[in-house]
Chain A
Amino acid sequence: MRNGLCCVLLSIIIAICSFDAKCATAMANALIVNGLTVTATNQLEFGSLAASSTAGTISQNGTTTGGVNAVSSGATRSAAIFTVSGESSSNANYTFTLPPSITLVSGANQMTATLSVASGSGAGNAGSINRTLASGTDILTINGILSVAANQASGSYIGTYNVEATY
């Protein structure tokens, strides 16, 4: 009787899909990728400078204005560099978020530096910047301009800031 039941069921399936209906097997796919990673590969460094009775600025490449003088000794000036890594199989767009300014602190004294993307999409700007991964990687150089007040107190000024990269 079991064999007979199998025959009946088989007949029903054949009747539905072979005689009066057609079936197709369809495919579906998706590639789920992890979020982006951001690595700081170089710090923003303004080096040593001498303030005066006149306010001024100094950039990460040593360019000065006003009464600020760049001093050759001390830390090497450099732009900040961030490496953004993501999905390599697609040149995906993403958003890089950079604060427009940061505060550098030395004890009770402060200075402010403005930040901007050095090149590529969003060059010269801060805030939310649309960028594109090239084969899964994007390298951003961040420039800064430090504002130095008249008779700015001497000291070692340090500041931190957060950046974010999201698809």
Chain B
Amino acid sequence: MKFLTNQQQQDSRPIKLSHVAAIFLIFLSLVLKIADGNAAVVTSVSQNTGMGFSLVTQGASGGTIKTAVSCAGTGTAKKIGTTAAFPCANGVFLISGSNNSTGANRNRVTIIIPASATISSGGITMNVALSLSSVAVVKQRSIVLSGPSGGIGTFSFPVYGTLTLGANQNSGDYNGSYNVMVCNNSLTSC
């Protein structure tokens, strides 16, 4: 017979409390997925078109460039042209999902974008305000996938950007990225 101290008993437990919590969360996720019978199941979201602000000239006082209005500028910021590498374009995404066969929300999903992104060139940055609407700041949107019940549904949506240039913004090729998330409408995380 082997006697163990309390500390030895704790150390020898095969499953720690934190592990139990982790397993519980994974289990909870699975339960949520199974219980999600009235919502679409998002299978993919992909970027079809990257957001582009075209070729822009800066000025002494800075300004903005908005993709929603064909990259028209404000202040001393001005679009001077486009190229294949630097188009004026909203970000465009395609959602694909499986429409559940029943329920009012059988093909409803929620899109979430961040409020802003940063694009940079050689350590110099500019801010890009993001929105799901061309006329207002919208960071979350509930939409309905097309397609028949029990089939595959899709939805294409734009992300609008407003680029802010500082006064005498450094010239350069600015690039950046942001994340778009699409999830089932019933998820509380959305």
Interface residues of A (CB under 8 A from B): 1, 3-5, 7-8, 10-12, 14-17, 19-35, 86-87, 89-94, 167
Contact = CB atoms under 8 A, between A and B. Distances in A.
For the complex of A and B, the 9 pairs showing the least CB-CB separation, nearest first, are A4-B18, A21-B183, A90-B81, A30-B53, A15-B29, A28-B51, A27-B50, A92-B81, A7-B22
B52 A94 contact: no
Contacts, number: 189
Q: Is the interface of B mostly helix, strand, loop or mixed?
A: strand
Given A21-B183, A24-B180, 12 more contacts: A8-B21, A20-B187, A22-B42, A23-B180, A25-B177, A27-B176, A28-B119, A29-B175, A31-B174, A32-B58, A35-B59, A90-B82
Contacts of A87: 55, 57, 80-81
Contacts of B117: 28
Contacts of A35: 57-59
A26 B47 contact: yes
Interface stretch (B1-9, B137-145, B158-166): B158-166
B167 interface: no
A16 B189 CA distance: 7
Contact of B33 (A7, A10, A19, A22): A19
